[in-house]
Chain A
């Protein structure tokens, strides 16, 4: 029988994969995909808690809002990455190295 724990494990696994993606990828778009994984892991948690333990719909409503925010964030992020590409002709994060110290 599939229960709360299974969903939480998937959520935690997705979260870890997302963090790993953010930390290891050099391509800005790939990093963004890692961020999306983090947000969706939270969504899985929210919906699972809402269904199995909380006994209210707050979690599911929360998840819908998170989807909206993720879309807005992706739009801004892609715009910034696009202008990075226009300037550097590359989306490799190693090239973004003018600010240090």
Chain B
């Protein structure tokens, strides 16, 4: 059989292609946000340090730390330490769930304050809610999908039905989802500080 020009398994190449396509999707949605923001001089900048920015910092740190624990899982899997890898995967899922809970807390606070997809309680552009909930919602879906994927992979790896390559492939997706937060936090949170 002819060797792959990239020297990697086909599933790893497939996840890289998905990641590049998904990065273009997030790029497009962030460009749309930038367009709407520039075109609306009455754009609202509602965020205070407490609770929104502090919450955003905690979410970002949780995701970055989960990347580190995912590396622990991949390295343990490659070394053949199954139980250690599954434990690291469990910690990674827990950190992902921390992110989910923090974002849902942020959303519930904003909804209680009157923010909706097409309503701005502060009287500025109504597009703020659409872009904020749209961008963070798309990212939230990716994180939830990642947590579910890690749970499935951890279960399969624990039962010897999946191998270290599957853990590594899931890790690539998880790192990508975390890198998206490195753009969402400054552009959607910090650029909207009052």
A binds B: no
Q: Which residues in A have some Cβ–Cβ distance to B below 8 Å?
A: none
